[in-house]
C-alpha cells in the first residue's frame, strides 16, 4: 500500500453497491481490479458528500477515483463508484 496513514476503517470488508456493479461493467473493471486499485491507493480524502471518501489510485496507466462510504455500524466499506479521471 502507498498510503502512509490509512484511515481506521481501511482494513474492513468491502461491500459493492448496485451502482458500482453497473459501473464495473460499463468501465470494464473487475472486483479483482478494484481490490488492486485500493491496495495501491495514493491518497484518501473527504468526499463531496458527507460520510464519503475519495480514494485516488491508478489502473491501466490512468488515474482513477474510487468513492467509498464506511459503515461504522456494520464495519464495512461500501464502494459507491469508481471512475477514471480524464485530463
CA–CA distance from 85 to each of 22, 59, 63, 66, 71 (Å)? 18, 10, 5, 10, 26
**Beta pairing class for 13-16 and 76-84:** parallel
Interatomic CA distance for residues 87 and 76, integer angstroms: 32
Place of cell 496513514: 5
Range 28-49 average pLDDT? 96
pLDDT-based confidence at 1, cuts 50/70/90?
A: very low
In angstroms, how far is the first alpha carbon of the chain from the final one? Answer: 25
Residue 82 pLDDT > 60, yes or no?
yes
Stretch (H or E) spanning 37: helix 31-39
Amino acid at each position: 500500500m502507498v498510503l502512509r496513514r490509512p484511515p481506521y476503517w481501511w482494513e474492513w470488508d468491502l461491500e459493492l453497491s448496485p451502482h458500482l456493479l453497473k459501473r464495473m461493467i460499463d468501465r470494464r473493471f473487475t472486483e479483482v481490479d478494484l481490490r488492486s486499485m485500493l491496495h495501491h491507493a495514493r491518497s484518501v480524502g473527504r468526499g463531496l458528500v458527507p460520510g464519503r471518501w475519495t480514494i485516488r489510485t491508478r489502473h491501466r496507466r490512468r488515474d482513477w477515483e474510487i468513492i467509498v462510504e464506511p459503515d461504522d455500524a456494520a464495519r464495512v466499506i461500501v464502494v459507491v463508484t469508481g471512475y477514471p479521471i480524464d485530463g
